[in-house]
Structure 1
Amino acid sequence: MFINREYELNHLEEEFLKDTARFVVIYGRRRVGKTALIEEFGRNKKDFIYYLADQQSQTQQIESFKQQIYEYTRDDFLLKMRFDDWDQFFGYLSKILPADKRLVLAVDEITYLIKSTPAFTSILQKYWDTFFSGTKIFLILSGSLVGMMLRDVLNYDSPLYGRRTSQIHLRAFDFKHASMFLERFDIEDRILLYSITGGVAKYLLLIEEDSVREFIRKKIIEKEGFFYQETIFLLSQEFKNPNVYLSILKAIALGHTKLGEISNFVGIDGKKITRYLDVLQEIGVVMRQVPVTEDPLRFRKSIYHIEDNFLDFWFRFVMPNRSRIELRDTKGLLDNVMDLMPDYASATFEDVSMEFLQGAGREGRLPAQFIHWGRWWDRENEIDVVALNRNTFDILFCECKWRSRKAGVDVIAQLLDKAPLVNWFNERRREHYAVISKGGFTKKAVEFAEERGVLLFDLKDMGEYF
């Protein structure tokens, strides 16, 4: 099942049509769909070699790669050859691979090769410079260990720096495209499931159950469930010593979102904890947030949140209850998780609401065009979604209510009262308002909104868009 990725596929096809050698790097967290993208791109390519690396020794990796090359070249002498290292292997490839054909050579999970042979990137650079760059090869390097990909493949210090012709940072699907995996569920359950899995393709494909409750029971809080140990596996692959990172993510998931709060929870000095947070931001696990009206470089009261929905869910509900899960004492735990899901999913509902409003803007359904999107808060107040256009001085304030009862006049009135607290071009701006409510609106709220030009949306509106 291959969904979307139209932009990335189009980019690869455009690169493929060029006459010179191409060197494309694809990276992104595990399970996000990098392999599927490469396979879809190579589906109709006549000259296509795909090698999936794994955690073997260098000798075994070369043997596996050699077999894939043989399947394409049918060079019997290649099978008889024994290569002591990658230098010898690439030296032989430079003699047998065609220089005048548009050959796609895809090396997936290259970080395993770098782990077993740190000099691999230097060797590849040597043969790119002396052979591959003068051919019509289309080289793809793909990797899931984002930190290693940034450091050893893309970074300025990497031997491969300056060789790539393009790169694709493959990210999780947004809610609109994730919904394509979840069409049998209604919009409310899709939001709940997205709050657990995020837009990670593999996770979405694993949703085989008929309800959110059964999915959590079978796949997450049973010892044998796919997701139970998933976070430990992910972080152990990314970091040699994941314990501090585990503690930081647990702190954030439990609501300790300010730098000082995280530092106190983990028990590490603020300056040192910042370095760990920088790494988590670099690999796309954690995001530093500031109010959308503020300058991120100057604002000092930022907060941190876990950008990956699955990791956020796991640290909120699985990690604190691992002893119970190990003892299979999960009936009460499942009830507890389901009771807390409405509160937990409210943050995801705000993200989905922002995506919905952005889509409405593209369709011309908003009173202005907005460029910058985010949240706003001060010490006592917050507004769920605020969007700005610094060219036209338009500003949109939106409140998101993830609750079953209908939103009343008070919700709209509170939003109108909070808007003047936002200090942003106060004398010049044009203000716009919206409220998105899961439970809909009372008749009085609808009348109140119409009188004041406040846009109202509910789950039915969202379901029609998504």
Structure 2
Amino acid sequence: MFDRDAEWDELVRFAGIQRGGATLGVVSGRRRQGKTFLLDALVRAAGGFMFTATEASEADALRQFGDALGSYLQEPTPLRFANWDEAITRTMTLAPAGPLPVVIDEFPFLARVSPALPSIIQRALDPAGQRSNTQVRLLLCGSALSFMGGLLSGTAPLRGRAGLELVVRTLDYRSAARFWDITDPRTALLVNSIVGGTPAYRHEFTQDDTPAGPADFDDWVIRAVLNPARPLFREARYLLAEEPDVRDPALYHSVLAAIADGRTRRGEIATFLGRQPSDLAHPLGVLEDLGLVVREEDAFRSNKGVYRTAEPLLNFYHAVMRPAWGDLERAGRARQVWPRLQRSFLSKVVGPHFESVCRSWTRWEADPDLLGGYPSRVAAGVVNDSAARTQHEVDVAAFGRDEQGREELLAIGEAKWNETVGLSHLQRLTHIQALLRGRDGVAAGRCRLLLFSGKGFSNDLRAEAQTDPDIQLVNLERLYEAG
């Protein structure tokens, strides 16, 4: 178990609550994050019961559940239930003397074919039902984020019933580097831009193959990612194929391809696909619900926003692999193909990912003293320059609160992955800073300047930063340093 101490502690606490009555917990998170691993470890440690559902009819699902429960209870024959009311009633008798974890994994598969199941569980949890006679600690788990969140929202039957609502998230970029045993920050970020923070890709999907260092990165991509004999090669395709809400995979892949190509606004995506923007409301909404795409508000215009791919492997597939799929599918061709894919990799994958990491560092890792305050919001944005009739993109904009609770702009920043950052970049930021200070509705009087680089900084910029504490230079070592 790695970097899941907080999640494990919550599960252990919930499973061991010493009081009468059944309790409910909900565990969610994207696929491949280790939810099943955590819950399986919990029931093994506590002697609990775990059932993992599959896509099946209601009758078949009940049969599978009866088989699993009968095996757990060591019954001489499988249990047979006429309906879920009988099955849940029997399940609630498992813990008459003390707390016992009971896990139903992939719960959305069951609820989709048996819509009454949440109501049946709700009734079993009522004090008037089975709740006072059992100490079952029931955990419902699933990867369909919108569905799992909806279980406890609004007028849903289980609203207000859960004592635990746990989301198992991907590893952040620093934790991912430690998980992959990568100490070189440049290699760590390059790997992270492909596989992100999904734990399963470290072992099952790459056979524990990790780049030995910067000189081994290209060879690692060829042997572990672009190798059609490795599971990671087709994983991006399977991510969508596994989702029951995705009815038209071609459309969803096209939407993701547009985003990977830099078309991040709905209108741009629609133009790329030859459709109307209104046609994309549903597919974009589904991708957001699945946790595969996120909509980020513009830092300076609340009514504007961009879509970004939340799963780096999907972005890598659509920007790099998909255009050359025919060549890559032929075993042994990756070594010849990869050199001509590297330009797209750097511009469409690593560059945007580096900007995202810089925003994450600013939001969660940077010393508040460096920013002049604690950041409550960090985003990218666009600043209009009416005098020059142009627009300026800002990679990092950090906002905080002043003593009166009003929002103020703490810092703006520019991030360049494969470019030496110099005085020209500082001058551009200084110009944007002046534009923001003269803009109504933006408190930017104390705005500081952050310059991020994956390649380094010029000597004259370093000299300038040494004399001005409001200019901060952040390299890869600083992004990855602990504390």
Interval of TM-score (by shorter of Structure 1 and Structure 2)? 0.7 to 0.9
Which residues of 2 match residues 237-276 of structure 1 at below 5 A?
237-238=242-243, 239-276=246-283
Q: Could you give the per-residue CA deviations for residues 217-242 of structure 1, whole angstroms, max 9, x where no partner exists?
A: 23433333212322332212222332
Partner of 2:94: 97
How much has 1:143 moved relative to structure 2?
0.9
Q: Which one-letter code corresponds to 1:308 in the other structure? A: E
Distance in 2 between residues matched to 1:224 and 1:424, nearest whole Å: 57
Which residues of 2 match residues 287-326 of structure 1 at below 5 A?
287-295=294-302, 299=303, 301-326=304-329
How much has 1:109 moved relative to structure 2?
1.4
Distance in 2 between residues matched to 1:428 and 1:213, nearest whole Å: 43
Distance in 2 between residues matched to 1:427 and 1:163, nearest whole Å: 43
* Pair 1:400-2:398 in alignment: no
Distance in 1 between residues matched to 2:132 and 2:72, nearest whole Å: 20
How much has 1:7 moved relative to structure 2?
2.8
Q: Is the 8 A contact 1:33 1:202 kept in 2?
A: yes
Residue 50 of structure 2 aligns to a residue whose secondary structure is strand
* Pair 1:414-2:410 in alignment: no
**Structure 1: which 5+ runs fail to align?**
none
Alpha carbons of structure 1 residues 91 and 409: separation in structure 2 relative to 1, 3 Å: closer
Q: Is the 8 A contact 1:356 1:465 kept in 2?
A: no
2:358 to 336, 348, 353: 353
TM-score (norm 1): 0.87
How much has 1:204 moved relative to structure 2?
3.1
Q: Which one-letter code corresponds to 2:396 in the other structure? A: V
Which residues of 2 match residues 63-462 of structure 1 at below 5 A?
63-70=63-70, 72-76=72-76, 79=77, 81-94=79-92, 96-129=93-126, 130-132=129-131, 134-150=133-149, 153-156=151-154, 158-205=156-203, 206-207=205-206, 208-210=209-211, 211-238=216-243, 239-295=246-302, 299=303, 301-328=304-331, 329-343=333-347, 344-362=349-367, 364-378=369-383, 380-392=391-403, 393-403=408-418, 406-422=420-436, 423=439, 429-453=445-469, 454-462=471-479
Q: Which one-letter code corresponds to 1:309 in the other structure? A: P
Q: Could you give the per-residue CA deviations for residues 356-399 of structure 1, whole angstroms, max 9, x where no partner exists?
A: 33444357554332221111213521121110113253511122
Q: Is the 8 A contact 2:28 2:143 kept in 1?
A: yes
Distance in 2 between residues matched to 1:84 and 1:155, nearest whole Å: 29
Q: Could you give the per-residue CA deviations for residues 165-191 of structure 1, whole angstroms, max 9, x where no partner exists?
A: 332222211112212212234111110
RMSD: 2.8
Residue 168 of structure 1 aligns to a residue whose secondary structure is strand
Q: Is the 8 A contact 1:213 1:338 kept in 2?
A: no
Shifted more, 365-374 versus 80-89: the winner is 80-89
Q: Is the 8 A contact 1:361 1:370 kept in 2?
A: no
Distance in 1 between residues matched to 2:178 and 2:370, nearest whole Å: 23
Partner of 2:5: 6
Alpha carbons of structure 1 residues 60 and 259: separation in structure 2 relative to 1, 3 Å: closer
How much has 1:145 moved relative to structure 2?
2.7
Residue 230 of structure 1 aligns to a residue whose secondary structure is helix
How much has 1:338 moved relative to structure 2?
2.9
Shifted more, 333-342 versus 64-73: the winner is 64-73
How much has 1:103 moved relative to structure 2?
0.8
Alpha carbons of structure 1 residues 37 and 289: separation in structure 2 relative to 1, 3 Å: same
Residue 171 of structure 1 aligns to a residue whose secondary structure is coil
How much has 1:334 moved relative to structure 2?
1.4
Alpha carbons of structure 1 residues 414 and 93: separation in structure 2 relative to 1, 3 Å: closer
**Number of aligned positions between the proteins:** 455
Q: Could you give the per-residue CA deviations for residues 184-213 of structure 1, whole angstroms, max 9, x where no partner exists?
A: 341111101111111111123344143432
Residue 182 of structure 2 aligns to a residue whose secondary structure is coil
Q: Is the 8 A contact 2:48 2:102 kept in 1?
A: yes
Shifted more, 176-185 versus 111-120: the winner is 111-120
Q: Is the 8 A contact 2:94 2:136 kept in 1?
A: no
Distance in 2 between residues matched to 1:167 and 1:427, nearest whole Å: 37
Alpha carbons of structure 1 residues 93 and 342: separation in structure 2 relative to 1, 3 Å: closer
Q: Which one-letter code corresponds to 1:143 in the other structure? A: G
Distance in 2 between residues matched to 1:456 and 1:196, nearest whole Å: 26
Distance in 1 between residues matched to 2:113 and 2:262, nearest whole Å: 39
Q: Is the 8 A contact 1:145 1:237 kept in 2?
A: no
How much has 1:105 moved relative to structure 2?
0.3
How much has 1:141 moved relative to structure 2?
0.7
Residue 162 of structure 2 aligns to a residue whose secondary structure is coil
Residue 420 of structure 1 aligns to a residue whose secondary structure is helix
Distance in 2 between residues matched to 1:262 and 1:340, nearest whole Å: 19
Alpha carbons of structure 1 residues 370 and 427: separation in structure 2 relative to 1, 3 Å: closer
Distance in 2 between residues matched to 1:231 and 1:285, nearest whole Å: 11
Alpha carbons of structure 1 residues 441 and 81: separation in structure 2 relative to 1, 3 Å: closer
Q: Is the 8 A contact 2:67 2:78 kept in 1?
A: no
Distance in 2 between residues matched to 1:367 and 1:387, nearest whole Å: 10
How much has 1:319 moved relative to structure 2?
2.3
Alpha carbons of structure 1 residues 245 and 49: separation in structure 2 relative to 1, 3 Å: same
* Pair 1:51-2:51 in alignment: yes
Q: Is the 8 A contact 1:21 1:132 kept in 2?
A: yes
Q: Could you give the per-residue CA deviations for residues 23-74 of structure 1, whole angstroms, max 9, x where no partner exists?
A: 11111211011112223444532x4222222345555544543454345544
Alpha carbons of structure 1 residues 81 and 390: separation in structure 2 relative to 1, 3 Å: closer
Distance in 2 between residues matched to 1:219 and 1:240, nearest whole Å: 30
